Amino acid sequence: MNRNETLFNRAKAIIPGGVNSPVRAFGSVGGIPRFIKKAEGAYVWDENDTRYIDYVGSWGPAIVGHAHPEVIEAVREASLGGLSFGAPTEGEIAIAEEIAKLVPSVEQVRLVSSGTEATMTAIRLARGYTGRDKIIKFEGCYHGHSDSLLVKAGSGLLTFGNPSSAGVPADFTKHTLVLEYNNVAQLEETFAQLGGEIACVILEPFVGNMNLVRPSENFIKALRSLTEQHGAVLIYDEVMTGFRVALGGAQSLHGITPDLTTMGKVIGGGMPLAAFGGRKDIMAAISPLGGVYQAGTLSGNPIAVAAGLKTLEIIQRHGFYENLTARTGQLVQGFTAAAQENGVQFTADSVGGMFGLYFADHTPQNYGDMARSNINAFKHFFHGMLERNVAFGPSAYEAGFVSAAHTPELIDETIAIAREVFQTMAE
């Protein structure tokens, strides 16, 4: 009996689409989702007791590996004192201090429970601080499912975005401009025409939600220069990249000091925890100090904070990022070589413990590039790997993740399996 199929049918009767987050439904790749029963290190096990080498990593948080013994013990100890209080705790201060120590642009921090909450509030804060309404986001960047961010590009340059989800009134997105990632000229023209009305620019500093896409150096420099020149707030959405691509986040690799930063995933160590922080003068506009309101009953949850603090401790140990970066590079280099051996059109890229796989003739620079890649080839690859017990995210538009638990030998094993799959694709 296939427990995954049985559970999926049962779930669809009571949960919309059978899942609590859409990509889990395998809608873009087809087939039956794997219902996960347990995870440890670099592996997950489904309800059929099949073990998979896991490159999803809970979509990024599992940087030290699943169920790391020290993280589990920290959670156990914290839970013995109670699950939540709705009151301040010392742990909240400790993790805020740790974040500020590791990310110098963050002078003050507010903890929340999800990345969506962090980015939604950071934008509200930028609007409250500047007294402006318009915001810029980039096509293909995902910043959570708040109304003003569920936007698709308009029909032309400087066209305000249109809602990309039912249930979002056009009025909620009329102040959101959607520009092309890495397009410096478009960014300059937008600021030239509307600079005095723009509250903020928000971006994924390495995109992970249209697969991994790098920003160009000119693009990053233009973002910082134009926002400073026009008094707009630059928001680095590091929910995915924070502590994943480097200890100081993407901003440390770029040499950029954003005004606000949002974080999640790694800082919770697998528990629901996120944060936003930045310049002290901007953060002073948030309640109870200022007029920008934000609240959350479970914000700074002591169990999530304990998991996050222990994870942040582990990733600061000697050689952690050097090893993580080397293993991720080993994976993408091995995949690229295996694809070339079999004549499969394929490129790959990585930064820190994050990687992208593209069935295309060049590494994508924006959403349009990614949309022109061979999505059917990805589906073939995805299922070929899954049938051989290697799990990737079930979408061609999602980045993948390596953890400290992925040994060089395990990555070599993954490359050998990928070589088999590429051979079937070449036949």
The confidence band for 157, taking pLDDT boundaries of 50, 70 and 90, is very low
Determine the average pLDDT of the residues in 298-305: 97
| pLDDT, tens digit (0-9, with 9 covering 90-100), for 131-145 | 999 999 999 999 998
Q: Average model confidence (pLDDT) for the chain?
A: 95
Task: Name the strands in the sheet holding 233-238, side by side, starting at the edge strand that comes first in the sequence.
Answer: 108-112, 274-278, 260-263, 233-238, 198-203, 134-138, 176-179
Distance CA 203, CA 215 (A): 10
Contact residues for 331 (Cβ-Cβ < 8 A; gap 6+): 350, 355, 402, 406, 411, 414, 415
Is the pLDDT confidence value at 427 over 90? Answer: no
Render 287-311 in DSSP notation, one character per residue: TTTSSB----TTTT-HHHHHHHHHH
Distance CA 251, CA 161 (A): 27
Determine the average pLDDT of the residues in 226-241: 98
> What pLDDT score was predicted for residue 158?
41
| pLDDT, tens digit (0-9, with 9 covering 90-100), for 379-426 | 999 999 999 999 999 999 999 999 999 999 999 999 999 999 999 999
| pLDDT, tens digit (0-9, with 9 covering 90-100), for 30-69 | 999 999 999 999 999 999 999 999 999 999 999 999 999 9
Mode of pairing for the β-strands spanning 108-112 and 274-278: antiparallel
Determine the average pLDDT of the residues in 16-33: 95
Only one residue has tokens 């799990």, namely 391
What percentage of the chain has pLDDT greater than the value 90? Answer: 92
Distance CA 237, CA 181 (A): 14
> What pLDDT score was predicted for residue 153?
58
Determine the average pLDDT of the residues in 70-77: 98
- Annotated catalytic residues are 142, 237, 265
The confidence band for 160, taking pLDDT boundaries of 50, 70 and 90, is low
Please provide the distance, in angstroms rounded to a whole number, between the alpha carbons at the two ends of the chain: 32
Determine the average pLDDT of the residues in 252-260: 97
Structure-derived torsion over alpha carbons of residues 177, 183, 189, 191, reported in degrees to the nearest 10: 60
Is the pLDDT confidence value at 279 over 90? Answer: yes
> What pLDDT score was predicted for residue 164?
82
Determine the average pLDDT of the residues in 279-298: 97
Distance CA 174, CA 171 (A): 5
> 3-class secondary structure for 134-201?
EEEEECCCCCCCCHHHCEECCCCCCCECEECCCCCCHHHHCCEEEECCCCHHHHHHHHHHHHHHEEEE
Is the pLDDT confidence value at 161 over 80? Answer: no
Is the pLDDT confidence value at 159 over 80? Answer: no
Give, to the nearest 10 degrees, the angle between helix 408-426 and helix 320-341: 20
Instruction: Name the residue type at position 1.
Output: M
Determine the average pLDDT of the residues in 89-103: 98
Determine the average pLDDT of the residues in 72-78: 98
> What pLDDT score was predicted for residue 287?
97
Is the pLDDT confidence value at 196 over 50? Answer: yes
Determine the average pLDDT of the residues in 227-253: 98
Higher pLDDT, 47 or 160: 47
Distance CA 341, CA 421 (A): 12
Determine the average pLDDT of the residues in 263-288: 98
Determine the average pLDDT of the residues in 85-113: 98
Distance CA 255, CA 232 (A): 19
